[in-house]
Structure 1
Amino acid sequence: MQPSAPHYDERLTAPASWWAITALLGISGGLVALPLGTLPMLAGLVGASALAALVVSSYGSVRIRVVAGSLVAGDARIPLTALGEPVPLDAEEARAWRSYKADPRAFMLLRSYVPTALKVEITDPDDPTPYVYLSTRDPQALAAALTAVRAA
């Protein structure tokens, strides 16, 4: 395996129900413009559908990767040397760390439609961020990838 090949790669895609809502928003845009005629109705349908699809697609395109000695989560790139031990969180623990246990200084990559997460302490003394919280569908695999890359 090449050193730059990803050891873990996950895209937090939006659920199918969000795409159904996108279609309904497109239909609503067409219905709003219906009294103005056929062409405005089609323009409303296409415009509202495209806008809603753009929002859902961009929100659901965030990636979590472990690549070349770094954890890449969305726009953040964190060197593995600055990370402590990963802690996989089940749905109940993840909910607790998203709410009453949360530290406002933490880096949190949240997706409401992903119930499980991974919490990793930041060990860099110059970084005020106490931990990284990542919504992930497979926290055990992400923790294993972080541990394997740090051990190598």
Structure 2
Amino acid sequence: MPTFRERLVPGVGTLLAVCLLAPATLLVFLPISLPIGIVAAIVLTAGAIAGLVFSAPVILIEQGVLHAGRARIEVAFTGTPEAFRGADAVRARGVELDARAWTLLRGWVDPVLRIPIQDADDPVPYWVVSTRRPAALSAALAAAHTATP
């Protein structure tokens, strides 16, 4: 049973912006055929929304392993995470970001969590992960840390 799970699906604003594909598609296909334009607009918009939702990465802590998208690391190799919001989050994923850091960032998720990596053999100094629930992810990392030998 996972101790933490979050899928980084797009927010309502992003999904509404994607819905603007419908009138644009309709505008392109309108001179050809109205029924084809309506079908194309529905299919393209639904496909774009489905693509964004189903390809959204998952952050998961399970059996002492942190999964963030395709990457994974044992919780024992992580340090105490730092949460950032607002302007601090912009700096953490921008000008203060180490080029060697591993990132899982989504523009529609403002808060980020910086997780230090404490493995001498790993060249990555830390992970920066977008999360809507940084306090819950930090708590789950701490709980998994104490549960691992």
Provide TM-score, normalisation by structure 1: 0.88
Question: Hey, what does 1:82 align to over in structure 2?
Answer: 77
Alpha-carbon shift at residue 7 of structure 1 (Å): 0.8
Aligned pair partner of 1:97 in 92, 102, 107: 92
Question: Hey, what does 2:132 align to over in structure 1?
Answer: 137
Provide TM-score, normalisation by structure 2: 0.89
Is the aligned partner of 1:34 residue 2:30?
yes
How do 1:106-145 and structure 2 match up within 5 A? Answer: 106-145=101-140
Please give the root-mean-square deviation of Cα atoms over the aligned residues, in Å: 1.6
**CA contact under 8 A between 1:84 and 1:123: conserved in structure 2?**
yes
Question: Hey, what does 1:20 align to over in structure 2?
Answer: 16
* Count of residue pairs brought into register by the alignment: 147
Give the percent of matched residue pairs that are identical in Structure 1 and Structure 2. 34
Equivalent residue letter for 1:18? T
Equivalent residue letter for 2:90? R
Question: Hey, what does 1:64 align to over in structure 2?
Answer: 59
Is the aligned partner of 1:54 residue 2:50?
yes
Gaps of 5+ in 1: none
Alpha-carbon shift at residue 52 of structure 1 (Å): 2.1
**CA contact under 8 A between 2:14 and 2:108: conserved in structure 1?**
no
**CA–CA distance in structure 2, aligned partners of residues 43 and 90 of structure 1:** 41
